Structure 1
Amino acid sequence: MQRLLMALLALAIAACSGLPFNAVAPKVSVADVTIKSLGLMEQRLDVGLRISNPNDFDLTIVALEFELEVNGHPFASGLSHKATLVPAVASALLRVDTYMQSKDLIRQFKRLSQGALAAGVPYRVKGRFKTDKSSGWMPFDHGGVYGGDEKPQDKAI
């Protein structure tokens, strides 16, 4: 009876995780950033997020929210409710309208030097998403270095 109870508890915990048992959470990273509009108080960006699905089943991202940090400081944030299919063992690009406050942009310009640009600029994207296979939100956190004299190197955080 105790074994049955433990097995049921393990299944209940796996069901609450949001993905099927033995599934691996998708990886989210920044693919590109494009300026859409510049304003006095706020800038609008188009951020391409690369979502990689290592599982042997398709996932549909139904909602996503994130914050982008550059050089260790807030840069932009965005959210999407656009359903995006991420095929099994593949990746998809999710385009997200993103907003940045002018004060954050000015702060970044003050911190960046020519030497820092040559070395590459560290970034971090963190947030959460919902899939068609999950009842709750699942977090993500990924960092890397953009630009520099060498090839860009991504590292998982």
Structure 2
Amino acid sequence: MVNLHRRHCTRTLALAAASMALTGCASLTGAEAVRVNVVGLEPLPGELMEARMALKLRVQNPGDTAVDYDGISVELDVRGNSFASGVSPEKGSIPRFGEVLISVPVSVSALAVLRQVAGIAGGSNSNGSNRIEYALRGRLAGSGFGGARFSSSGEVELPKGLMGR
């Protein structure tokens, strides 16, 4: 019984040490995180209870080695509320000190659109423009251990007609 407990503790410590070593190796590479900004939204054909859009992302690689990716997933919050999500199997490479434009199809529920329309009608976007604040989270799959996660925030202009303007 004691021998079994000792073996279990040894195995647990070995796994913890290996995990810390991998984390340490990843941080020693000095690789900078990719920078991602929303640069546009374009309408796509959708279904009755959803809107579909092409979310245009500019992805910059400030590092001195190329970043290869094989798929992308995103979640977009607008004015503090969940708004759209999407995935794309797109693959490619972001050159060292370079950038690429990636288009990700996203789905927006009718409820999310109604929530935004109600917020704008209630005066929370009183400047009369279609520009609204966003927060973006996502992951580029296939680069490094488990992919490269990213997040950003800013303002984006919604497609004409989406918010009833």
Fold-level similarity (TM above 0.5): yes
- Render the CA deviation track for 1:79-135: whole Å, top value 9, x for unaligned: 122102211101101111111111111111110145154594211111222234x13
Judging by fraction of residues, say which structure has more helix. 2
Tell me the TM-score normalized by structure 2: 0.72
1:99 aligns with 2:107: yes
Q: 1:110 to 1:87 in 2, by over 3 A?
A: same
**CA–CA separation in structure 2 for the residues paired with 1:52 and 1:78:** 20
1:61 — aligned with what? 69
Counterpart of 2:29, as a letter, is F
Corresponding pairs, count: 137
Counterpart of 1:125, as a letter, is L
2:80 — aligned with what? 72
**CA–CA separation in structure 1 for the residues paired with 2:155 and 2:56:** 16
**CA–CA separation in structure 2 for the residues paired with 1:20 and 1:92:** 26
**CA–CA separation in structure 1 for the residues paired with 2:141 and 2:112:** 28
1:129 to 140, 143, 146: 140
Q: 1:40 to 1:9 in 2, by over 3 A?
A: closer
2:52 — aligned with what? 44
Q: 1:118 to 1:101 in 2, by over 3 A?
A: closer
For structure 1, the residue ranges without an aligned partner over 5 or more in a row are 1-7, 148-157
Tell me the TM-score normalized by structure 1: 0.76
Q: 1:13 to 1:25 in 2, by over 3 A?
A: same
Q: 1:138 to 1:79 in 2, by over 3 A?
A: same
2:149 — aligned with what? 139
Superposition CA RMSD, Å: 2.4
- CA shift for structure 1 position 32: 0.8
**Percent identity for Structure 1 against Structure 2:** 24
For structure 2, the residue ranges without an aligned partner over 5 or more in a row are 1-17, 158-165
**CA–CA separation in structure 2 for the residues paired with 1:119 and 1:48:** 17
